[in-house]
Amino acid sequence: AQKVTQAQTEISVVEKEDVTLDCVYETRDTTYYLFWYKQPPSGELVFLIRRNSFDEQNEISGRYSWNFQKSTSSFNFTITASQVVDSAVYFCALSEASAAGNKLTFGGGTRVLVKP
Amino acid sequence: GAVVSQHPSWVICKSGTSVKIECRSLDFQATTMFWYRQFPKQSLMLMATSNEGSKATYEQGVEKDKFLINHASLTLSTLTVTSAHPEDSSFYICSARWTLATDTQYFGPGTRLTVL
């Protein structure tokens, strides 16, 4: 069965600090997809990134970057030079290609608090 | 693109009444939509997968007669909480899978249900 673990429940940083969110996953499929979503206090989940299991290239989008390492089953997310608006809960999720309907399994989430 | 709306954003009802929540994909067609439930400070739990034109697939432990799902068109899925009780109070979130966008799920803003 698929499983996603976000070991950090809450991280508090001061503005402009970098913050890295860990995500470790378990799956028996060779084809799968990994996602990161942001949930600000308003509650709506915002899609950040999707990565398939065959693409291990790291990705950078503005202040966001992702490090995918199949060898350690990890898909970590770094926010560089954090800002107060980055305060939110961040969820890592996994979808197996073989799963009916491409269901998502979410990690427990990491709450990021960026203080001014 | 990829906008999903939910209505209502919040609802308060008396115990024993039924509540209907609508989920719409505004700018894309979604053959599959998903309904999640989220308790405070917890992750999202998948309740059911809603397929256009067919019966929903419920996750283990979710009462299908209590949480009625209808997916009548490619842009609309509804969740009806029947005979609601205080323990049904929660944050309900839907998502729509955009097939043409690498099967990524896009989420609605959520509906906060409070049953008195």
φ, ψ of residue A95 to 5 degrees: the values are: -130, 125
How far apart are the CA of B108 and the nearest CA of chain A, in angstroms?
6
CA atoms within 13 A on the CB side of A2: 23
User: Which amino acid type is present at position A2?
Assistant: Q
A64 in contact with B, Cβ within 8 Å: no
Share of chain B above pLDDT 70, in %: 95
Tell me the pLDDT band of B30, cut-offs 50, 70 and 90. Answer: confident
Contacts of B44 in chain A (CB under 8 A): 45, 91, 106
Please work out, in degrees rounded to the nearest 5, the angle formed at the alpha carbon of residue A82 by the alpha carbons of A77 and A85.
Answer: 105
Tell me the pLDDT band of A97, cut-offs 50, 70 and 90. Answer: confident
Closest residue in A to B33 (Cα–Cα)? A101
Tell me how far apart the alpha carbons of residues A96 and B103 are, in angstroms, rounded to a whole number. 12
Tell me how far apart the alpha carbons of residues A49 and A102 are, in angstroms, rounded to a whole number. 16
Contact B22, B92 (CB under 8 A): no
Share of chain A above pLDDT 70, in %: 97
pLDDT in tens, A2-22: 899 999 999 999 999 999 999
DSSP A41: T
Tell me how far apart the alpha carbons of residues B42 and A108 are, in angstroms, rounded to a whole number. 7
| pLDDT at residue B100, rounded to an integer | 62
Mean pLDDT of B34-51: 93
Contact A58, A67 (CB under 8 A): yes
Question: A83 - beta bridge partners?
Answer: none
Tell me how far apart the alpha carbons of residues B90 and B48 are, in angstroms, rounded to a whole number. 16
| pLDDT at residue A21, rounded to an integer | 98
Question: Would you call B46 and A103 a contact, using CB atoms and an 8 Å cutoff?
Answer: yes
| pLDDT at residue B104, rounded to an integer | 84
Question: Would you call B91 and A50 a contact, using CB atoms and an 8 Å cutoff?
Answer: no
Contact B76, B95 (CB under 8 A): no
Question: Would you call A47 and B91 a contact, using CB atoms and an 8 Å cutoff?
Answer: no
Contact A35, A92 (CB under 8 A): yes
Number of A to B CB contacts under 8 A, please give it: 57
Mean pLDDT of B79-99: 94
| pLDDT at residue A2, rounded to an integer | 87
Tell me the pLDDT band of A1, cut-offs 50, 70 and 90. Answer: confident
| pLDDT at residue A114, rounded to an integer | 97
A95 in contact with B, Cβ within 8 Å: yes
How far apart are the CA of A43 and the nearest CA of chain B, in angstroms?
6
Mean pLDDT of A60-82: 95
Mean pLDDT of A27-52: 93
| pLDDT at residue B101, rounded to an integer | 56
Tell me how far apart the alpha carbons of residues B25 and B99 are, in angstroms, rounded to a whole number. 12
